[in-house]
Amino acid sequence: MKAIVTVMLKDGVLDPQGKAIGHALHVQGFGEVQEVRAGRVIELDIDARDREAAAARVDEMARKLLANQVIESFKVEIV
Amino acid sequence: MKAIVTVMLKDGVLDPQGKAIGHALHVQGFGEVQEVRAGRVIELDIDARDREAAAARVDEMARKLLANQVIESFKVEIV
Amino acid sequence: MTARTVDAALAREFGLSNEEYERVLAIMGRTPSLTELGIFSVMWSEHCSYKSSRVWLKTLPTTAPWVIHGPGENAGVVDIGRGLAAIFKMESHNHPSFIEPYQGAATGVGGILRDVFTMGARPVANLNALRFGSPENPVTRRIVDGVVRGIGGYGNCVGVPTVGGEINFHPSFDGNPLVNAMTVGIARTDRIFLSAAAGIGNPVVYVGSRTGRDGIHGATMASAEFGADAEAKRPTVQVGDPFVEKLLIEACLELMATDAIVAIQDMGAAGLTSSSVEMAGKGGVGIELDLDHVPQRERGMTAYEMMLSESQERMLIVIRPDREDVARAIFDKWELDFAVIGHITETGHIVVKHRGVVEADIPLDPLAEQAPLYRRPLGDRVVPEPLGRVHDPIGTEAALLRLIGSPDIASRAWVWNQYDSTVGGRTVRRPGAADAAVVVVSEDDAGFDSTLALALTTDCTPRYVQACARTGGAQAVAEAYRNLCAVGATPLAVTDNLNFGNPERPEIMRQFADAIEGMGVACRALDFPVVSGNVSLYNETKNPDGTTTAILPTPAIGGLGVLEDANRAVGLSLAPGLSLVLIGETAGALGQSLWLREVLGQEEGAPPPLDLAAERRHGAFVRDQIAAGRIAASHDLADGGLLVAIAEMAMAGRTGVALDTPPSGLPPYGWWFGEDQARYLLGTAEPDALLAAAASAGVPARIIGHADGSDGLTLPEGVTISLARLRAAHDRFFPALMDA
Amino acid sequence: MRAGIVVFPGTNRERDMAIALHRVTGIRPMMLWHRDTKLPKLDLVVLPGGFSHGDYLRCGAMAAHSPVMSAVRAHAATGGAVLGVCNGFQILTEAQLLPGALLRNAGLRFLSQDWHLRVERADTIFTSAWRQGDIFRVPLAHGDGNYIADADTLDRIEDEGQVAFRYCDAEGRVSPETSPNGSARSIAGVFDRSRRILGLMPHPEDLVDPLMGGTDGLPLFKSLLESLVS
Ligand SMILES: Nc1ncnc2c1ncn2[C@@H]1O[C@H](COP(=O)(O)OP(=O)(O)O)[C@@H](O)[C@H]1O
Ligand SMILES: [Mg+2]
């Protein structure tokens, strides 16, 4: 099974990277861009009985390791 | 409109970050994890006539700036 | 938030005692608004008001003919000749670094950089003094990793080389690591910028990053011990943006080359509140802010939130009204926010408006003058029992191998290899090359041929301070002095970072008072005044059973010295053919030594006694001999004693050393591993001249061996310990801890 | 030799580079700004190290789209020499003036230490003061120096002699272990086809003075001085 974990900074936490990307897009003529947020994505291949089991395990991985919950939030998708 | 650009290393490009995450997950007892790939995600709020127009513009942004097509591939979603 | 009624209960949540809240009511003559309460609470927090420490800090010597500005400004300023000044300070980011090690350490570096460039200096070097918990504690590894990455991530990006520092491990830091960051900058003595506001009507300008809801109440958090609710305090973590800091440095220095600035101050702890209150307070004027003009990152921020936000990379500047366009153009060029958010008034009040409403109106004089000041009760002075008889269970060879690989002595290359130490083209002695880092300074940024240099070091031996705070406080100063002398520099001044536990506990307050007393005595004896510093209290962890664990008391000292000619700087690397000369007296002091801890598992006894007159005499002698060109390698003796120092010099120079028989009357372990103070080990090609000079200066000196170009240390009894074995033991610790 | 150094927001090794160029040429190089659209007449344009635009997104990505880069391209197109060091190398690859890309170091940590390089060819304007096979010491200071290109590109740049330097040990041996950052074939620096553009990760400009620990980096600048007398 394949899982996709998307990790973004929590709302309100400064996102220097997103800010810089937004700025660069503007300079390059993409004036229609408003807010930009940058995050990480981690794709995992994983052995699991079923989707629920996989989701539960990946959720645990994200909590323990993949996301820094002090400043980040995450989302798990099983595909 | 909101666009999500996911940028991953192309297949065949060594991904040390993914490898390190995989290793760390194993050490932490997530032995069921196989291959891990790490990438970036960029979320944009964007003004556009419709989804097609948005997709076309974001595709252009990705080609020009958000991805380095020498090593990376990207995917655009409009949500 | 806004729905809360302001009362004594809320004040307590904000960290104000009932009595302090009464005082607020008396000053205001009414119930304060939420924003006003917020302002009082941060200004009267331990972090900003120094309410527990001030009475003791005042006893430190702070003046010398070369001191231009001592404590009281953003950083200390000393004259280094040729019309130049060194500006430097050290600051802690302990609590944030436990909650989020990367961002905590990174923003610590950012904060101290701003304290230095806000005075007009270009930052030329960073150092850091770190204390971590036991290497056996699984949490330690994550904290070390984050802190080291954070320091590197920020310092490398802003392009200020990280050239030195120190690291200790001890279980008392398990739940409360120490991250003390130091920045040193260079400015022209005639272009130093202060924070006292002036000029009624002058605009108050905000520059840098936008304000978000970051770190609200950070200053009060830094003043509270960690309990089970540490988790709940997490949302206050700030994220640093070193890229914006780099732009801010360049933009501010560019503005400083004009005549636009009246006063300037970084927004550090308590952000807009402390910067505006301090600028107006120091200038004896009033200030009015209209928060509608504050550049904001988030929607719907209240006055309270904006006044208390600790968003990073922001500065407040009072400028000449006719220079507003010049200033704006510079910040536009660097693509930084620039906004006039208020003006200087004659009211003596801080007035904060938001959406047409006066959210705060506080008289500044009483806010400062009636700030709480405590002479907290002192516990009994701890007098350590002298160390009793010890035995040596493992012998010299095994002890050396164990010590050289122990956490407090092992090679720190793993750490400094992640810090850019050369950027800027000024670094003459990188980490690990000498007892102090050496950076060359130039009169202007392109003045390539200056050889005037600064020597920099940070030092403290917390286990000594724990055993006897007076001796330990003095020893930290003496060791900094020694490290500067060892490279050939003349020590000029120190900054300090006083990390202690809860000052409301008499035994902690006693440690604090005694450590300062010791520091003061040493600074006076060595002509080595304190010109800036920082206090971090409440470094304790609440245990599940209700008890608390305090850190080992850690008055970290950052020392600065000057070398007229950087070409004369001496490192610790030995070369074959050199004789090794030991300077100073060896009595075999093993109390609180690393040998005792690492070999016998004991943390006992009194720290080694200090003789400050000898420190001064020996230091001057070493400097003179270096200036005379007689010294090719030099190292002060500290943790681990003589044999550890020999091994370090031999490894650095890739040469073996043949050692002479120790003097009789001392056990071998006392000679090799005693931590007696005021000692140096010098490598010289002219041992006779050196001994003669020592004799006439009344300085004890003795040849103890020579570098023979072999591949090992040969002990007097004939045993050889190969350099390869030593290096393997020395290099193992960090990679084994971190990369396993 | 007239040299100019481009400063981007976040560039931080322009001073180091200026010191090195001044030392060999006796002339202070010009500082150029990322928004410049025209360059003065120059023999050499240098893109120095640092963290242009914070190195956010990808190192060098945003700088590669700066206005000044069109001018740099034009300068190169007319045979002008271009040197990119560290972040400058990353910018040149992002601008596709040089082949390949630079990924995160294989060890995932910033690397700041001296390393050795082997000179792969000495018949270029950048390397003429060395002999082929010379070994020299040089400081590294980067987090993203892992050189990568697809196999065909690697073969091509090898065949066409575009590899300038390789990471090696003190004896000049090259193996996967001598690559500090995982770079393909231990490549530390590459030329473009014309060999008038060079990009490399390490910092020769930080080792041009005995006071700073050595002069191993000087030949790069001496080569340029000899080749670019104007
Ligand atoms: N332990 C100390 N020794 C000497 N001076 C100190 C000490 N602690 C603080 N100071 C001085 O008190 C002033 C206020 O310090 P601080 O609140 O840390 O400043 P900032 O808010 O600018 O970082 C500074 O001038 C600082 O140098
Ligand atoms: Mg300050």
Q: What is the pLDDT of residues C214-229, one digit of tens each?
A: 888 655 554 455 444 4
Tokens of C672: 């090799």
Q: Is the pLDDT of residue D57 over 70?
A: yes
Average pLDDT, chain C: 94
Name the β-bridge partners of C343.
C203, C288
Task: Determine the distance in angstroms separating the CA of B18 from the nearest CA of chain D, rounded to an integer.
Answer: 11
How would residue D190 be classed by pLDDT, with cut points 50, 70 and 90? Answer: very high
pLDDT at residue C268, as a whole number: 85
Determine the Cα–Cα distance for residues D15 and B30; give it in Å rounded to an integer: 48
Q: Tell me: ipTM over 0.90.
A: yes
Q: What is the pLDDT of residue C692?
A: 98
Give residue-wise pLDDT tens across range D10-27. Answer: 999 999 999 999 999 999
**Do you know the residue count of chain C?**
740
Residue C579: CB partners within 8 Å, gap ≥ 6?
C683, C684, C685, C687, C703, C705, C706, C707
- The rounded distance, in Å, linking the Cα atoms of C111 and C98 is 17
**Sequence-ordered strand ranges (E) for D86-175:** 101-103, 111-119, 135-142, 146-148, 163-168
Pick the CATH number of C571-740 from 3.40.50.1980, 3.90.650.10, 3.40.640.10, 3.40.50.300: 3.90.650.10
- pLDDT at residue number C214: 87
- Per-chain mean pLDDT for chain D: 96
C533 Cα: distance to centroid of ligand 2 (angstroms): 11
Residue C355, number of CB atoms within 10 A of its CB:
10
Given this model, what pLDDT does residue B66 score?
A: 97
Q: How far apart are CA B47 and CA C377, in angstroms?
A: 64
User: What CATH number belongs to C63-191+424-569?
Assistant: 3.30.1330.10
**What are the residue boundaries of the structural domains of chain C, listed by start?**
1-62+193-371, 63-191+424-569, 571-740
Q: Which pLDDT value is given to residue C220?
A: 56
- Of C501, C553, B47, nearest in space to A25 by CA: B47
Q: Work out the number of other CB atoms within 10 angstroms of the CB of residue D118.
A: 23
Phi, psi of C429 (to 5 degrees): -125, 115
Burial class (CB in 10 A: 0-12, 13-18, 19+), C616: buried
C89 assigned ligand-binding residue: yes
What burial letters (b/e) apply to C635-669, b meaning 16+ CB within 10 Å? bbbbbbbbbbbbbbbbbbbebbbbbeebeeeeebb
Q: Which residues of D touch A14 (CB under 8 A)?
A: none
d(CA D204, CA D152): 29
In order of B42, C429, D56, the CA distances from C440 in angstroms are 43, 9, 31
pLDDT tens track for C506-529: 999 999 999 999 999 999 999 999
| Partner-chain contact B13 D104, CB within 8 Å | no
Closest C-alpha among C197, C26, C130, C25 to residue C556: C130
Chain D residues whose CB is inside 8 A of the A20 CB are 53-54, 56-57, 62
The sign of the CA dihedral C76, C79, C85, C88 is negative
- Tell me how crowded residue C382 is: count the other CB atoms within 10 A of its CB: 14
Instruction: Round to whole Å and give the CA distance between C457 and C619.
Output: 15
Among C54, C49, C82, C85, residue whose Cα is nearest residue C69: C85
User: What number does the ligand 1 atom closest to the CA of C278 have?
Assistant: 21
| CATH (one of 3.30.1360.120, 3.90.650.10, 3.40.50.10860, 3.40.50.450) for C1-62+193-371 | 3.90.650.10
Q: Give the chain B residue nearest D56 (alpha carbons).
A: B66
Q: What radius of gyration do chain A's Cα atoms show? A: 16
- Ligand 1 site residues (CB inside 6 A) read C 48, 57, 60, 71-74, 89, 91, 115, 268-269, 496, 498, 530, 532-535
Lowest mean pLDDT among C216-220, C634-638, D113-117: C216-220
Q: Which of D14, D75, D86, D142 is catalytic?
A: D86
Structure confidence at residue C1 (pLDDT): 42
Question: Which residues, 6 or more positions from C22, have their beta carbon under 8 angstroms from its beta carbon?
Answer: none
Catalytic status, residue D203: yes
CA distances from C633 to C582, C622, C649, D109, D175 (A): 12, 11, 8, 32, 35
**Domains held by chain D: number:** 1
CB contact under 8 A, B42 and A38: yes
Report pLDDT for C544: 87
Instruction: Return the HEC string of C37-73.
Output: HHHHHHHCCHHHHCCCCHHHHCCCCCCCCCEEECECE
* pLDDT for the residue C3: 56
In this prediction, residue C231 has a pLDDT band, given cuts at 50, 70 and 90, of very low
Identify the residue whose tokens are 């936008």.
C210
Name residue C129's amino acid.
A
Buried-exposed string D65-104: b where 16+ CB fall within 10 A, e elsewhere: bbebbebbeebbeeebbbbbbbbbbbbbbbbebbbbbbbb
The answer, yes or no, to whether residue A11 has pLDDT greater than 90, is no
Residue C739 pLDDT: 86
Express as a percent the part of chain B with pLDDT over 90: 94
**CB proximity B69 to D under 8 Å:** no
Q: In sequence order, what are the beta bridge partners of D101?
A: D148
Distances (CA, A) of A37 to B5, C88, C298: 11, 36, 14
> Residues D209, D218: contact at Cβ < 8 Å?
no
CATH number for the domain that contains residue D55: 3.40.50.880
| Residue C344 near residue C199, CB atoms below 8 Å | yes
What does the pLDDT read at residue C543? Answer: 87
Catalytic residue list contains D53: no
What is the per-residue pLDDT for C703? Answer: 98
Residue ranges per structural domain of chain A: 2-78
Pull the structure tokens for residue C32. 């304060």
Contacts of D9 (CB under 8 A, 6+ apart): C243, C246, C247, C334, C335, D34, D52, D53
**Which residue segment(s) compose the domain that D73 sits in?**
3-229
Mean of pLDDT values over C627-654? 97
Which of A74-78, C2-6, C325-329, D184-188 shows the lowest mean pLDDT across its residues? Answer: C2-6
**C154-211: pLDDT as tens digits:** 999 999 999 999 999 999 999 999 999 999 999 999 999 999 999 999 999 999 999 9
pLDDT attached to residue C201:
97
Predicted structure pTM score? 0.95
Residue C312, marked binder: yes
| DSSP category for residue D192 | -
- Angle between helix C34-43 and helix C271-283 axes, rounded to 10 deg: 70
What CATH number has the domain spanning B2-78? 3.30.1280.10
> Would you state the pLDDT for residue C447?
53
Give the distance (Å) from ligand 2 centre to CA of residue C114: 7
Please answer yes or no on whether B64 and A37 come within 8 Å at the CB atom: no
What element of type H or E holds C307? helix C303-308
**What pLDDT does C234 receive?**
38
Q: Does pLDDT of C235 surpass 90? A: no
Ligand 1 midpoint to CA C89 (Å) = 8
Q: Which two tokens stand for residue C233?
A: 């305090």
pLDDT tens profile C414-467: 999 999 999 999 999 999 999 999 999 986 644 556 789 999 999 999 999 999
Give me the count of residues in chain B. Answer: 79
Q: How far is D118 from chain B (nearest CA, A)?
A: 25
Chain D hits for C241, Cβ within 8 Å: 54
In C174-232, DSSP assigns E strands to 178-188, 203-208
Over residues C549-557, mean pLDDT:
97
**Whose alpha carbon is nearest atom 19 of ligand 1?**
C74
